[in-house]
């Protein structure tokens, strides 16, 4: 076992991020220390032994800053503080020290595209007239029509029909509209204002000086907008493409955004080791390298596996394309199957292929179309596949337990603006944010001793940590062992495909003899020679069942 001193020196490695296993914590739903039903920072600290047992390299914390929680904390009202519901800055320091002490690094989430309508600067903006310096930190414009009662453009937002809201909705009296790419309670910053840029540098420095190792950048493709007038109306454009490849879209993925990240990079590089960053940029694949370059953020999520069915041909294509992209700028790949915005991958893989996921979610979600066991099994197989690939892997809390999406949250308890504001066209994302089950026989499954902020279904019991811990064939143990082996076998960032003679089976190896074979569908597959390190389902006579992955050392 390493002692803390060794951990500290390991934390100095400047390339640690390239092939890290990063575990995403959604703080409100991880562990609650004070019975108010909301997970908190002390709760995370109380579970350090669990995090250590996972053999992860880093955690990424979704926002824990003061927030009215219109969008699960992605509506920040104070960037340099901790939400009192989640703890204090001292609790943060204590958590960070505890993580570092066991060799786990930490990413925090930075939300630079928008803040909360309760942010002091937005309140100041509402209180001052057009063209005031306070108002200029946001994007306010006069409306169209005689009384200015029509929004300035026909631009749409993610969580509301229009990207503009009249200031009177929040008490403003100057008859202007403000821009928001997400909910009206998430006003967009004006990134053409140097004061905004300076304030974000201050925020980054604040957390970097506190000792965080990296940043996950929310909506990294937002920030810069085409605000030249006359505005480009969507209904007059020949093709209404939100994020075109030339970097000249209206609201997102504009080329000027890289000037911002070049400035951030300068700050990150002042630290030893340099702070790292991963962009959440929903852009065309060919634009990913621009966010992931050495001069900008360094790494960028590639979400392609989230949207890929469990299928051999698609998986092979994904890997090949993503590796090519990462090579373009010296970045490393970022594999992931789940996060707090997506239906849990165990559920996705358990649904019959003919099922429309969105419609299924809108039903009670308990229909016979979901084979939970098959879903969990395939999910584990997919996870072992991505964990063996060169590059880093981002895991989402609860996936190690094989957890499924919760689909029957009563409407009165739904929190997600995607459901509440977006014309209720889908169930939203609360179903993957339900608090973790720790203890099968405790109230609220050991998450809290008070009612959890999103209700946990009775079937969570079977997935609880205590039901799986130390049981070799459980999903949790498989993750723990896989991540331990992965750490020990970590090697040069390359891989080679091998012919399998079966279109449903993929086989690749890493330069040190670490081999991974996955069987997607159909007959059992006789695996090649070598020492069996781990398999997601038991092998019989070296035969790998459909929906399974094995790691072999040759």
> Between residues 40 and 400, which has the closer beta carbon with respect to Ca ion?
40
Cβ proximity of 510 and 389 under 8 Å: no
388 contacts which partner out of Ca ion, ligand NOJ, none, CB within 5 to 8 A by kind? none
SS (H, E, C) 255-309: CCHHHHHHHHHHHHCCCCCCCEEEECCCCCHHHHHHHCCCCCCEEECCCHHHHCC
Closest chain position to ligand NOJ (CB): 74
For ligand NOJ, the binding residues in 325-364 under the rule CB under 6 A are 340-341
**One of 64, 79, 92, 182 touching ligand NOJ (CB under 6 A):** 182
182 contacts which partner out of Ca ion, ligand NOJ, none, CB within 5 to 8 A by kind? ligand NOJ
36 contacts which partner out of Ca ion, ligand NOJ, none, CB within 5 to 8 A by kind? Ca ion
Question: How many Å apart are CA 308 and CA 318, to the nearest integer?
Answer: 8
Prior bond of 230 cis (ω within 30°): yes
Interface pattern 57-96 for ligand NOJ (x via CB under 6 A): --------------xx-x----------------------
CA angle centred on 553, ends 551 and 554, rounded to 5° = 135
Instruction: Report the nearest approach of ligand NOJ to the CB of residue 339 (Å).
Output: 7
* Residue matched to tokens 């790494």: 299
Question: How many Å apart are CA 318 and CA 326, to the nearest integer?
Answer: 12
Number of shown-chain residues binding ligand NOJ (CB under 6 A):
10
178 contacts which partner out of ligand NOJ, Ca ion, none, CB within 5 to 8 A by kind? none
Interface pattern 1-40 for ligand NOJ (x via CB under 6 A): ----------------------------------------
Instruction: Report the nearest approach of Ca ion to the CB of residue 124 (Å).
Output: 31
Instruction: Report the nearest approach of ligand NOJ to the CB of residue 216 (Å).
Output: 9
> Between residues 216 and 510, which has the closer beta carbon with respect to ligand NOJ?
216
Cβ proximity of 302 and 285 under 8 Å: yes
**One of 41, 61, 82, 111 touching ligand NOJ (CB under 6 A):** 111
Beta bridge partners of 34: none
Instruction: Report the nearest approach of Ca ion to the CB of residue 450 (Å).
Output: 8
Binding footprint of Ca ion on the chain (CB under 5 A) = 32, 34, 36, 38, 40
Structure tokens belonging to residue 482: 């896989």
219 contacts which partner out of Ca ion, ligand NOJ, none, CB within 5 to 8 A by kind? ligand NOJ
State the Cα torsion 219-224-228-232 to the nearest 10°: -20
For ligand NOJ, the binding residues in 39-58 under the rule CB under 6 A are none
For ligand NOJ, the binding residues in 209-248 under the rule CB under 6 A are 218-219
Strand, helix or coil at 214?
A: strand
Question: How many Å apart are CA 537 and CA 548, to the nearest integer?
Answer: 6
In the chain, how long is the greatest CA-to-CA distance? 79
Instruction: Report the nearest approach of ligand NOJ to the CB of residue 121 (Å).
Output: 17
Buried b (16+ CB within 10 A) or exposed e, 67-103: bebbbbbbbbbbbeebbebbbeeebbebbbebbbeeb
57 contacts which partner out of Ca ion, ligand NOJ, none, CB within 5 to 8 A by kind? none
> Between residues 390 and 398, which has the closer beta carbon with respect to ligand NOJ?
398
32 contacts which partner out of Ca ion, ligand NOJ, none, CB within 5 to 8 A by kind? Ca ion
27 closest CA partner among 302, 547, 470, 435: 435
Instruction: Report the nearest approach of ligand NOJ to the CB of residue 221 (Å).
Output: 10
Interface pattern 116-155 for ligand NOJ (x via CB under 6 A): ----------------------------------------
Cβ proximity of 59 and 108 under 8 Å: no
Question: How many Å apart are CA 299 and CA 293, to the nearest integer?
Answer: 7
Binding positions for ligand NOJ, rule: CB under 6 A: 71-72, 74, 111, 182, 218-219, 280, 340-341
């Amino acid at each position: 076992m390493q002692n803390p001193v060794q951990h500290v020196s390991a934390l100095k490695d400047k390339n640690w991020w390239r092939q890290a296993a990063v575990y995403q914590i959604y703080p409100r739903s991880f562990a609650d220390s004070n019975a108010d039903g909301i997970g908190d920072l002390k709760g995370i600290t109380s579970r350090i032994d669990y995090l250590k047992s996972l053999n992860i390299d880093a955690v990424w914390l979704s926002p824990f800053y003061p927030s009215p929680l219109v969008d699960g904390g992605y509506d920040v009202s104070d960037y340099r503080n901790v939400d009192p519901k989640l703890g204090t800055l001292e609790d943060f320091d204590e958590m960070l020290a505890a993580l570092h002490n066991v060799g786990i690094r930490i990413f925090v989430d930075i939300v630079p595209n928008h803040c909360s309508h309760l942010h002091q600067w937005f309140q100041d903006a509402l209180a001052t007239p057009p063209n005031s310096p306070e108002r200029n930190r946001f994007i306010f414009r006069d409306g169209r029509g005689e009384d200015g009662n029509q929004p300035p453009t026909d631009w749409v937002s993610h969580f509301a029909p229009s990207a503009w809201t009249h200031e009177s909705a929040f008490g403003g009296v100057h008859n202007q509209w403000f821009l928001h790419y997400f909910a009206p309670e998430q006003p967009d910053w004006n990134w053409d204002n140097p004061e905004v840029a300076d304030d974000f540098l201050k925020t980054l420095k604040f957390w970097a000086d506190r000792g965080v190792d990296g940043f996950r950048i929310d909506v990294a493709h937002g920030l810069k907008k085409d605000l030249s007038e006359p505005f480009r109306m969507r209904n007059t454009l020949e093709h209404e493409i939100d994020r075109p490849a030339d970097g000249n879209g209206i609201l997102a993925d504009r080329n000027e955004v890289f000037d911002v990240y070049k400035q951030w990079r300068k700050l990150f590089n002042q630290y030893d080791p340099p702070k790292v960053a991963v962009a959440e940029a929903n852009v065309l694949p060919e634009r990913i390298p621009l966010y992931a370059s050495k001069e900008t953020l360094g790494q960028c999520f590639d979400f392609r596996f989230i949207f890929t069915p469990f299928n051999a041909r698609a998986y092979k294509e994904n890997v090949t394309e993503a590796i090519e992209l990462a090579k373009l700028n010296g970045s490393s790949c970022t594999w992931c199957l789940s996060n707090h915005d997506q239906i849990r991958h165990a559920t996705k893989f358990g649904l019959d292929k003919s099922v429309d996921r969105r419609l299924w979610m809108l039903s009670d979600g308990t229909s016979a179309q979901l084979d939970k066991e098959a879903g969990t099994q395939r999910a584990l197989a997919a996870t072992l596949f991505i964990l063996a690939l060169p590059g880093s892997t981002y895991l989402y809390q609860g996936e190690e337990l094989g957890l499924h999406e919760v689909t029957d949250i009563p409407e009165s308890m739904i929190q997600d603006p995607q459901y509440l504001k977006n014309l209720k066209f889908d169930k939203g994302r609360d179903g993957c944010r339900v608090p973790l089950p720790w203890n099968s026989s405790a109230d609220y499954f050991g998450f809290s001793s008070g009612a959890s902020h999103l209700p946990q279904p009775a079937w969570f019991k079977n997935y609880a940590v205590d039901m799986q811990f130390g049981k070799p064939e459980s999903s949790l143990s498989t993750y723990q062992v896989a991540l331990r082996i992965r750490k020990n076998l970590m090697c040069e960032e390359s891989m080679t495909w091998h012919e399998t003679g079966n279109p449903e089976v993929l086989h690749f190896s890493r330069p040190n003899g670490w081999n991974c074979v996955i069987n997607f569908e159909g007959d059992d597959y006789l695996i090649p020679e070598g020492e069996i390190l781990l398999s997601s389902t038991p092998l019989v006579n070296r035969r790998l069942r459909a929906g399974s992955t094995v790691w072999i050392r040759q």
